[in-house]
Amino acid sequence: MFRKTALATVAIAAAAALTLAGCSSRDAGTPSSSSSGDAAGFAKDSLIGVALPAKTSENWVLAGDLFTNGLKEAGFKGDVQYAGASSPVQDQQNQIQSMVTKGAKVIIIGAADGSQLGPQVKAAKDAGVTVIAYDRLILNTEDVDYYVAYDNFKVGELQGQALLDGMKAKKAEGPYNIELFSGSSDDANSAVFFDGAMKVLQPKIDDGTLKVVSGQTDIKQTATAGWKAENAQNRMDTLLAANYAGTELDGVLSPNDTLARAIIASVKAAGKQLPIVTGQDSEVESVKSIMAGEQYSTINKDTRNLVKQSIEMVKELQEGKKVTTNNDKDYDNGKKIVPAYLLPPVIVTKANAAEAYANDPTLAPLTK
């Protein structure tokens, strides 16, 4: 959930000064309705645009396929586009503008950089388009209508607790030596994951239970540009060489699975004992790694459910209904409180993987 510290960090990354509203509750509560941006209804075969960032992880690739098929099944004309890896922001800006020109009634945006889409979403709103931010909040604009995502602050809390639990299970008494990694600074979620985790970890750092041996605890120091595995691996190589000659590394906070595997690869290359490493996204290779006893945990944020909820929002708009949300107070993007629908994330370790993925035809067989 977007709190003062989370948005402040994003604001620094985006070089923008945000005025933030406080967060009063972690409880999503019961579904409510908001009329922000609601359409008066439109033809069922209308064009629906979906703008996604570069294919940096399995969940984005899966989301594109699910949107393509799901919108078609619902009777809509889907225009699903990915930004290119070399210039994702410019690509996405152009794609959104093109969707507006084509007459899209709703545009769902998984932002490549949520701080750089203001002119494009304004053009969309001026043309009568409803804008839904998908997974990543779009910042500093009044022209985003809804936000659909998993509860990303809770994701961070689960990751922080998993790190503590895993280290304690491996070594009953601390202190524990750890290192911290966060995501790309151009992704608004990176600060939310990190702040959620630090809510759990900071008290343990303060009381000496945890020691960040490198001293790198600020999100600027821990950021991983572009969510790229090679950047995480290079940083881990440097941290190990500079701080862990003769010193044991007990745990690493990793914000997602791609970076977790890169961190593990670095530790293996250094010939050191594997630490407890967290993750997120339930990527196939990481689920295999968890079952093999290497990566400790991941987060199950079933992309199928997130896409399904997004398409349900489109259906409500098409029918002229008010869009169902379950959090209408906590997601301040710097210009407005964006009505949100949040789904609950689930922590997954080897102990509960079979249960967590029981209904996933791809991941369930990996847990046998």
Residue identified by tokens 């949300």 is 325
Q: Band of the pLDDT at 298, cuts 50, 70, 90?
A: very high
Domain residue extents for the chain: 4-150+302-343, 153-301+349-367
The Cα–Cα gap between 213 and 94 comes to 44
Under 8 Å between Cβ of 176 and 210: yes
* 123-159 pLDDT per residue, tens: 999 999 999 999 999 999 999 999 999 999 999 999 9
> What does the pLDDT look like over 161-202, one tens digit per residue?
999 999 999 999 999 999 999 999 999 899 999 999 999 999
Confidence band of 31 (pLDDT split at 50, 70, 90): very low
Separation CA 187–CA 160 (nearest Å)? 20
Band of residue 56 on the pLDDT scale cut at 50, 70, 90: confident
Residue-averaged pLDDT of the chain: 90
β-partners of residue 106 are 48, 130
CB 243 within 8 A of CB 214: yes
Contacts of 139 (CB under 8 A, 6+ apart): 10, 14, 16, 18, 114, 115, 188, 333, 334
CATH code, residues 4-150+302-343: 3.40.50.2300
What superfamily does domain 153-301+349-367 belong to in CATH? Response regulator (3.40.50.2300)
70-114 pLDDT per residue, tens = 999 999 999 999 999 889 999 999 999 999 999 999 999 999 999
User: Which residues partner with 348 through β-bridges?
Assistant: 298
pLDDT at residue 38, as a whole number: 54
Place of tokens 């035809």: 361
What is the distance between the alpha carbons of residues 82 and 54, in angstroms, rounded to a whole number? Answer: 6
3-state secondary structure of 260: helix
The answer to whether domain 4-150+302-343 and domain 153-301+349-367 are alike in fold is yes
Q: What percent of the chain is predicted at pLDDT more than 90?
A: 86
The pLDDT assigned to 24 comes to 31
Eight-state DSSP code of residue 289: H
| pLDDT confidence of residue 213 | 98
Q: What is the pLDDT of residues 302-345, one digit of tens each?
A: 999 999 999 999 999 999 999 999 998 889 999 999 999 999 99
Q: What is the pLDDT of residue 126?
A: 97
Helices (H), 103-140: 118-126
Phi/psi-derived region of residue 312, left when phi > 0, alpha when psi is between -120 and 50, beta in every other case: alpha
**Paired strand residues for 211:** 177
Q: What is the pLDDT of residue 276?
A: 98
The per-residue pLDDT for 6 is 38
